[in-house]
Structure 1
């Protein structure tokens, strides 16, 4: 299978490529040098790197497209310019991919395109799945809903579209957990706000295997929650992380302090999203890490 992957140097993309090296992989990247360095452990595999889609007139030569590229949403405060960067880094590339699929006489059989559980906005303690109809003015919903709408335009009798509503990805190689660890390791761990907000998490292994499952399941289409079947409240996550690290758990970060530090992007840690992977499990996907404690233990043991 010949697969075009965007976002190949990211946390999910780099691990995904490692699992797909038996296929013919073309990686779209803004910096070939940096991406080659990130994927240096795969240098003996025939990966192809491109920095633009401009010389493509169609995608007839590809069997699948996996579109994971986008400016990290949690790295900076959501200023107006940063919001614009977050949006356009997702939307413009996806529009280009959709245009090339439309221009193809033999288009890729599947477009797997990124999104996030931020699509749902704050849903408090209500369990939710992919069938929930959402009307929200939150920025995270706006980004994801528009991104998904653009990707869906690629859908036809020849091309199915799968949308990855991704939770917080837990990995020993970076991501949210790496940012969380230092205060916990120093013994300053604790819940954020009241700690009642639900955190939809997923182990990197299940994230990657979920994408591969959708790639290989010809009747899979539409949105999928890529998060473990058992989301937990922030206070439970925090307590379990402290316990796994054998550190105390007593510090409380008030919601007002988080909003002061993060501004509008505080919604990323204060919103409650009790998302369930209903469609994925109904199709027969089995999570290796469906509960948080074994997931955290495995990841912390694997830390460099």
Structure 2
């Protein structure tokens, strides 16, 4: 297959590109500069530009680009960066593939379980409505921006990602050194649910979404059984063989992170109903196994 990927330098994108190429697929990478290699395609989300000629013949497009949600404090300026990088970028890619004479059969777009907002201890699947707050509203607008592709008849999938367990990046990439130093602990009261997924399973799920013609719309990319932050903290201590004596009070998180703290302390018990119903099998469904896999890779 010939597959184009945006966000190919990120944690998930780079792992996906490596996995696809290992299996012999032809991968094109969307880059924000002049293309300097045969596998590069220039795009500029701010200018709504994609070199569509280079996408001709692609069987699938996977759009993962976007500024890091937790990379900075959510100032009004950074919230605009988050929105533009997702909404404008998705619109540019969706318009580009919709304009092709021979469009790809599928567009897989990144999204997040932040779509649901804070849902407490209630188990939620893809049928749950959008929540409230900046991240929920951003996810709703982000997914809507892919509309032109769906309207053009392209199977469009929104991969609502949970917390990816990896030592190479993301939230867990920052947590591993802290817990290894014996300085880890629960966040707030630790009762909030964390819907996690191993990096290996996330990449496998993206490939499953590319290959499974019966799946479209939102799909939760999370392990089957979400855990509370308290349970995740215990697992980190167990796997790393370190004490976890330093809880971070909610008031401190709010002081340090500002508005972002509400999402860190919020609870999303999201389950991957559509993935499971479509026959996907998790390699690392349990948190201990996901953590050990992250440490090996």
Q: TM-score, normalised by structure 1?
A: 0.90
| Structure 2: stretches of 5+ with no match in the other structure | 44-48
Q: 2:174 aligns with which of 179, 182, 190?
A: 179
Partner of 1:10: 10
Equivalenced residues, count = 290
Query: Residue 47 and residue 23 in structure 1: after superposition, are their counterparts in 2 closer, same or farther (change >3 A)?
Result: farther
The separation in 1 between residues aligned to 2:276 and 2:184, in whole angstroms, is: 33
Partner of 2:26: 24
Q: In the TM superposition, what is the alpha-carbon distance from 1:189 to its structure 2 partner?
A: 1.5
Query: Residue 32 and residue 74 in structure 1: after superposition, are their counterparts in 2 closer, same or farther (change >3 A)?
Result: farther
C-alpha offsets along residues 123-166 of structure 1, whole Å, 9 cap, x if unaligned? 01000000012242x11111110010111331147410000100
* 8 Å CA contact 2:199, 2:294 repeated in 1: no
Confirm whether residue 64 of structure 1 aligns to residue 54 of structure 2. no
Q: In the TM superposition, what is the alpha-carbon distance from 1:93 to its structure 2 partner?
A: 1.6
Listed as ranges, the matches of 1:109-258 within 5 Å are: 109-136=105-132, 138-156=133-151, 158-258=153-253
* 8 Å CA contact 1:27, 1:48 repeated in 2: yes
SS of 2:164's equivalent in the other structure is: strand
Query: Residue 102 and residue 299 in structure 1: after superposition, are their counterparts in 2 closer, same or farther (change >3 A)?
Result: closer
Q: In the TM superposition, what is the alpha-carbon distance from 1:300 to its structure 2 partner?
A: 2.2
Q: 1:298 aligns with which of 271, 275, 293?
A: 293
* 8 Å CA contact 1:164, 1:224 repeated in 2: yes
Query: Residue 298 and residue 2 in structure 1: after superposition, are their counterparts in 2 closer, same or farther (change >3 A)?
Result: closer
C-alpha offsets along residues 162-200 of structure 1, whole Å, 9 cap, x if unaligned? 001000111132222120122212212111100000001
The separation in 2 between residues aligned to 1:174 and 1:79, in whole angstroms, is: 22
* 8 Å CA contact 1:108, 1:158 repeated in 2: no
- CA RMSD, 1 decimal: 1.9
* 8 Å CA contact 1:169, 1:201 repeated in 2: yes
C-alpha offsets along residues 194-229 of structure 1, whole Å, 9 cap, x if unaligned? 000000100001000000001001111010000100
* 8 Å CA contact 1:74, 1:268 repeated in 2: no
* 8 Å CA contact 1:2, 1:61 repeated in 2: yes
Query: Residue 97 and residue 261 in structure 1: after superposition, are their counterparts in 2 closer, same or farther (change >3 A)?
Result: same
The separation in 2 between residues aligned to 1:7 and 1:284, in whole angstroms, is: 27
Partner of 2:41: 50
Confirm whether residue 83 of structure 1 aligns to residue 79 of structure 2. yes
SS of 2:257's equivalent in the other structure is: helix
